[in-house]
């Protein structure tokens, strides 16, 4: 099946710990994105990558880091510097050549206590 | 940056009713997408519609780009239509790098 997978579905961490969220796609898409959703809100962009080994900060990048070593993978690390990390995290991708349409993974719910 | 406003914020329907959701945006767009977020949080693509009209079963959408709004129509609503509907756009101005800007969503509840 073609699509975007995110793991784990639920993640619990203690304050002060870094945590890495996985995002993998087999759609052969060049561009990948990480968004954050807080309760009752729309999504906000954390980081994006348009090509392997290149990524850029989005609107709320502070306290997060990413890497893009492979076209298929775009992991997000939530660091201890992120002041309010508890949220729902969604990964997305799109083909740069076809259209601007983005497709989303199922998301990871992170709870930090 | 571009602003996206959705209305109404909440909508309660009886099964079988029709509804219209609206999305206003403040600037020209390269992309406009409608999503349904299900109870598990998954964002389901409904329409990719930067302009024109599309239909998919009981759902249809129209975007009038020159007037900067889009409408999502749901006919003969079912309880499974319940959830949050988001409109999201990619601004045509500047270097938007394909970033989607989301509205606040419309929470739809369909009662049997």
Going residue by residue through chain B, which has 112 residues, state the pLDDT in tens, using 9 for 90 and above. Answer: 899 999 999 999 999 999 999 999 999 988 999 999 998 899 999 999 999 999 999 999 999 999 999 999 999 999 999 999 999 998 887 665 778 899 999 999 999 9
Asked if A101 and B48 touch (Cβ cutoff 8 Å), the reply is yes
Cα A5–chain centre separation: 11
For position B40, what pLDDT does the model report? 87
- Name every chain B residue with its beta carbon within 8 A of the beta carbon of A94: 98
- Do A43 and B88 count as a contact with CB atoms less than 8 A apart? yes
Sign of CA dihedral A84, A24, A98, B104: negative
* Minimal Cβ distance to A48: which of B33, B43, B99: B99
Shortest distance, CA B109 to any CA of chain A (angstroms): 15
Q: What does the pLDDT average to over A22-36?
A: 95
Nearest-angstrom CA–CA distance, B106 and A8: 28
Q: What does the pLDDT average to over A76-101?
A: 89
Shortest distance, CA A85 to any CA of chain B (angstroms): 17
Q: Which helix (H) or strand (E) element contains residue B19?
A: strand B19-25
A29's tokens: 């898409």
Name which of A20-29, A90-99, B64-73, B81-90 the model is least confident about: A90-99
Nearest-angstrom CA–CA distance, A40 and B105: 8
Beta bridge partners of B81: none
- Name every chain B residue with its beta carbon within 8 A of the beta carbon of A44: 102
Asked if A5 and A105 touch (Cβ cutoff 8 Å), the reply is yes
B88's tokens: 């999201």
Which of A11, A32, A58 has its CA nearest to residue B95? A58
Nearest-angstrom CA–CA distance, A106 and A3: 10
Whose tokens are 């073609």? That residue is A2
Nearest-angstrom CA–CA distance, B60 and B86: 14
- Do A103 and B97 count as a contact with CB atoms less than 8 A apart? no
* Minimal Cβ distance to A101: which of B33, B42, B103: B33
Q: What's the number of CA atoms in the CB half-sphere (13 Å) around residue B112?
A: 1
Nearest-angstrom CA–CA distance, A98 and A29: 10
Q: What's the number of CA atoms in the CB half-sphere (13 Å) around residue B82?
A: 12
Q: What does the pLDDT average to over A13-33?
A: 94
Shortest distance, CA A59 to any CA of chain B (angstroms): 10
Which of A100, A90, A40 has its CA nearest to residue B47? A100
The terminus-to-terminus CA distance of chain B in angstroms comes to 41
């Amino acid at each position: 099946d073609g699509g975007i997978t995110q793991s784990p579905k639920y993640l619990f961490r203690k304050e002060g710990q870094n945590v890495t969220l996985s995002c993998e796609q087999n759609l052969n898409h060049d561009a990948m994105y990480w968004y954050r959703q807080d309760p009752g809100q729309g999504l906000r962009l954390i980081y994006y990558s348009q090509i392997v080994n290149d990524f850029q900060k989005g609107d709320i990048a502070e306290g997060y880091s990413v890497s893009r070593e492979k076209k298929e993978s775009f992991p997000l690390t939530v660091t201890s510097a992120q002041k309010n990390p508890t949220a729902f995290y969604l990964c997305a991708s799109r083909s740069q050549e076809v259209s601007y349409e983005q497709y989303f993974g199922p998301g990871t719910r992170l709870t930090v206590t | 940056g571009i602003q996206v406003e959705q209305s109404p914020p909440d909508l309660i329907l009886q099964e079988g009713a029709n509804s219209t959701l609206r999305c206003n945006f403040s600037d020209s767009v390269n992309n406009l997408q409608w999503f349904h977020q299900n109870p598990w949080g998954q964002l389901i693509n409904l329409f990719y519609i930067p302009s024109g009209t599309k239909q998919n079963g009981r759902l249809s959408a129209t975007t009038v780009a020159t007037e900067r709004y889009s409408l999502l129509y749901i006919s003969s609503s079912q309880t499974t239509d319940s959830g949050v509907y988001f409109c999201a756009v990619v601004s045509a101005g500047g270097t938007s790098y394909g970033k989607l800007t989301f509205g606040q969503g419309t929470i739809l509840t369909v009662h049997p």
